[in-house]
Amino acid sequence: MSERGKRSKRLAAGLDKPRLYVGDRDDERDVYTTAPGEVAAASIGDAEKARPNEDSAAIIPVNDTHVVLAVADGVGGMTGARQASNLTVKALRKALTSSAEPPGRSLRTAILDGIEAANRAILDSGSGGASTLALAEIGPDYVRPYHVGDSVVLICGQRGRLKLYTTPHSPVGFAMEAGLLDEKEAMAHTELNLIFNVIGSTDMRVEVGSEQPLAPRDTLVLASDGLTDNVLQDEIIAAVRAGPLHLAINRVADLALERMCGTQANKPSKPDDLTALLFRRHPRR
């Protein structure tokens, strides 16, 4: 039976082992407590297609100070898209849970090893599939973004200031970064979903960002393009910047789903799978 329409609620139990989202259910929404902070998740399949959800996601606690979050989007229209995103998060889980090394520089190495392992596994599968990836390495008072393709990492402050937004690896993403397109023009562009960097490619490259400060009231967002193709940056920020995370994840997911239904005039409407992870640090005591 479909679980579409489910709402996340605050969970009392903490999360001390990896939690993977691999498209097993129509609508999964959860909130977990990890040692570094609280994580809210939503992974929702496109109701208009017969295929299962091709997005995947992972919440991977590393230790008492570090957690890794990831969103992978199987490239639509390719055979094996779901398999590709599943392989990506599973390779990351294996790389991050098999390492006995302490966090820091070695954690970055383990993440990159996991991405490389995913790339090899997808290529070796021969399915023709591929995946994008947005990943956040979260440590004491910082976050480091990693991404491949057009899934994004965003950080905003409680008052709504945008502190980080990764540039999609796409012609439209680069045109926006150069100031040649604004966000509304980009959402309507005919090449919006054309990307040139994916996991499952012989020339895949990982863009690794620098450490970014992450204050307790900042909100970190990782999302597939099911969110960013339907909801403007300012709207995402307004939905997630304040209030409990279990309400924030519902606000932003429901807004995207409403847009996908095409019920609002002059608003973007691109039905797709939707996956988002939100994170906030625990308040300092």
Alpha helices (runs of H) in 126-210, residue ranges in sequence order: 171-177, 183-187
Per the listing, tokens 């229209």 go with 77
| pLDDT at res. 26 | 84
pTM: 0.90
- The per-residue DSSP string of 78-114 comes to STTHHHHHHHHHHHHHHHHHH--S-SSHHHHHHHHHH
Question: Cα separation of 32 and 268, whole Å?
Answer: 31
Question: Domain 19-166+199-281, what architecture?
Answer: 4-Layer Sandwich (3.60)
Question: 120: which 2 tokens?
Answer: 């090899």
- How is residue 52 annotated by DSSP? P
Percent of the chain with pLDDT over 90: 65
Cα–Cα distance for residue pair 155/168, rounded to 1 Å: 15
**What single-letter amino acid sits at 182?**
D
**Cα Rg of the chain (Å, integer):** 17
| Residue count of the chain | 285
Q: How do residues 110-168 score in pLDDT, each as one tens digit?
A: 999 999 999 999 999 988 899 999 999 999 989 999 999 999 999 999 999 999 999 88
